[in-house]
Amino acid sequence: MAAAVLEKSVTTLFALSDQQKANLAQLAQHLHDTKLRKLTAHGIAYHHAGMSLSDRNQIEESFRQGNLMVLLCTNTLAMGVNLPARLVVIKSTEYYHLGKMMEYPESTLLQMIGRAGRPQYDTKGVAVILTHMRNVQKYETLMNGTMPIESHLHKHLAEHLNSEIALGTINNLEVAMHWMRSTYFYVRSLQNPAHYGLDGNLDKDFIEHKLEKMCSVQIQQLQNAGLISRNPTNELDVQTTSYGKLMAKYYLCFETMKLFRQVLNFYTWR
């Protein structure tokens, strides 16, 4: 849709040189997508996973050479393909996922706008973000570099605790809390507790109590999954098991490891 709109007003956007027109005409002859052939004659193209590999590779190369002036693409192009540009326009900060519209993660947006003005390819770059008015301040803060970085440790706490227990760094809840206080997650929990589901209470003792409970729950879940065990001589102490060592050695997610245990138990039972 966007490519069709641009095609109608292409003559007012930029003028192609004779050499560019010749290169684009040659490109069109080798493309499988008939709609794409028509667009490339005007210096416009699109790029997405549904295209053939041959068409994608040829479009990327033509854009690098400066023959294609406009490339409309999905956000995934910024992740794995090096296509520097003078101007990057993000026409929406939302995408459809699991039945609803969601905002792109900040890291994804930074990847996309990072295509503009790459130092080794261009002397300047411009990025334009089109979004709802309610999000303007958020993205202005992001662009100014004043948005704080939040931790994601709490989303994978079980994996980290298991690794530390396997290494022997953590052997009980008290030591786990000592380790927790050394993390960036702990720092951000004190400064922005609401972000981590801590009810926005800025009382340090309250937050520490919540974090201790969080560690206790994760340790119990690791034990239930057979990844750690209690010390027979001291119930407060924990130690790793062979399964916990495997999970730590091969960087497996907790949910993945639980599935492996279920499969193993099923075949053992049979």
Band of the pLDDT at 201, cuts 50, 70, 90? low
Do 188 and 151 contact (CB within 8 A), yes or no?
yes
Instruction: Work out the angle at residue 215's Cα, subtended by the Cα atoms of residues 211 and 219, and round it to the nearest 5 degrees.
Output: 170
Q: Rounded to whole angstroms, how far apart are CA atoms 24 and 42?
A: 8
Band of the pLDDT at 239, cuts 50, 70, 90? very high
Residue 81 has pLDDT above 90, yes or no: no
Sketch out the chain's domains with CATH numbers. 2-144 (3.40.50.300), 153-269 (1.10.10.10)
Band of the pLDDT at 138, cuts 50, 70, 90? confident
Residue 202 has pLDDT above 80, yes or no: no
Band of the pLDDT at 188, cuts 50, 70, 90? very high
Percentage of residues in the chain having pLDDT higher than 70: 92
Q: Rounded to whole angstroms, how far apart are CA atoms 147 and 96?
A: 25
SS (HEC) of the chain: CHHHHHHHCHHHHCCCCHHHHHHHHHHHHCCCCHHHHHHHCCCEEEECCCCCHHHHHHHHHHHHHCCCCEEEECCCHHHHCCCCECEEEECCCEEEECCEEEECCHHHHHHHHCCECCCCCCCCCEEEECCCHHHHHHHHHHHHCCCCCCCCHHHHHHHHHHHHHHHCCCCEHHHHHHHHCCCHHHHHHHHCHHHHCCCCCCCHHHHHHHHHHHHHHHHHHHHHCCCEEEECCEEEEEEECHHHHHHHHCCCCHHHHHHHHHHHHHHHHC
| Angle between helix 242-249 and helix 254-269 axes, rounded to 10 deg | 140
* pLDDT for res 270: 58
* pLDDT for res 77: 74
Instruction: Work out the angle at residue 124's Cα, subtended by the Cα atoms of residues 123 and 130, and round it to the nearest 5 degrees.
Output: 160
Q: What pLDDT digit, counting tens, does each position of 10-63 carry?
A: 655 667 888 988 999 999 999 998 888 888 888 889 888 888 999 999 999 999
- Residues in Cβ contact with 132 at an 8 Å cutoff, skipping those fewer than 6 apart: 93
Do 192 and 149 contact (CB within 8 A), yes or no?
no
Instruction: Provide the pairing of β-strand 87-90 with 126-129.
Output: parallel
Confirm whether pTM is higher than 0.95.
no
Residue 231 has pLDDT above 90, yes or no: no
Band of the pLDDT at 146, cuts 50, 70, 90? low
Q: What is the mean pLDDT of residues 246-265?
A: 91
- Residues in Cβ contact with 254 at an 8 Å cutoff, skipping those fewer than 6 apart: 156, 158, 159, 162, 221, 222, 225, 247
Q: What is the mean pLDDT of residues 73-83?
A: 74
* pLDDT for res 110: 83
Q: What is the mean pLDDT of residues 231-251?
A: 88
Structure tokens at 162: 């298991």
Mean pLDDT taken over the chain: 87
* pLDDT for res 123: 84
Question: Lowest-pLDDT range, 68-77, 86-95, 158-167, 219-228?
Answer: 68-77
